[in-house]
Amino acid sequence: MSARIMTTIIGAFFWVGLFLCETGQTKEPDCPFDSLRVAVNYTNNFNRNIHHDFWKPEAGLETGLATDFYSGILEIGGTWVKYSARQKPRPDYQSLYLFVGWGLEKKVMTKLRGNLSLRVGDHLMIFDDDFVEPEGRVESELAVELAGGVSLYLSRQTALEISGRYRRVYTRHRLELAFFGLGISRSLAAPGWLKGILR
């Protein structure tokens, strides 16, 4: 599938999420930290720029934890993607983005919700190079990510997640990455001890 088609698809999911948040009804209010939503997503870095001339992205994985906040949704999570060097001796590397975010979720229909969130975190690049000292193999950079998507609830607790994300990494030369995500989430009641700590 071409990058242009993928860009169109991811853009559609983002704007659908934005439209749903603008036109939908506010999700029924819950007490802060009463429930937790655990999500696991396949993720694919589909855009192409000068960075991708040197490294090829492989399929990745994102996991996250979200909860109702006093206003909106609070989330934490991580995204892992491996990048393979297109030419040696340039090393392969693994990307790990650890983030915290805040967002909004709106209910459109009984089983459909749209969501938007802003994330800030640490974008780690872990290079596979045996000729470099261990402390020099990891590069850490500030990154900001905008995420949007839809959740289709298959049951009261389980939902199919479709999302699009745009990340800007503040390296010397800005790194811009766009992702498509597909996965599943499960809502659980937060344990009492955890609610006591968070409140």
Cα distance between residue 175 and residue 172, in whole Å: 9
Q: What is the pLDDT of residue 113?
A: 93
Contact between residue 168 and residue 120 where contact means Cβ atoms under 8 Å apart: no
Q: Identify which of 133, 56, 121 has the alpha carbon closest to the alpha carbon of residue 88.
A: 56
Residue 24 predicted with pLDDT over 60: no
Measured CA to CA, the distance from residue 68 to residue 57 in angstroms comes to 33
User: Does domain 3-198 bear CATH number 3.90.230.10?
Assistant: no
- Name which residue leads in pLDDT, 12 or 158: 158
pLDDT band at 130 (very low <50, low <70, confident <90, very high): confident
Cα–Cα separations (whole angstroms), residue 87 to 55, 58, 93, 162, 192: 8, 15, 13, 33, 52
Instruction: State the pLDDT at residue 198.
Output: 60
Q: What is the 3-state secondary structure (H, E, C) of 68-91?
A: ECCCCEEEEEEEEEEEEECCCCCC
The label of the residue with tokens 């498509």 reads 180
Residue pLDDT, tens place only, 145-159: 999 999 999 998 999
Name the pLDDT band for 29 (thresholds 50, 70, 90). very low
- What share of the chain has pLDDT > 90, as a percent? 60
Question: Which residues, 6 or more positions from 179, have their beta carbon under 8 angstroms from its beta carbon?
Answer: 10, 43, 44, 45, 46, 60, 79, 164, 165, 166, 167
pLDDT score, position 173: 87
**What is the pLDDT of the chain when averaged over all its residues?**
84
The whole-number pLDDT of residue 190 equals: 73
Nearest to 13 by CA among 46, 50, 57: 46
Mean pLDDT of 37-58: 95
Q: What are the extents of the domains in the chain?
A: 3-198
* This prediction's pTM: 0.81
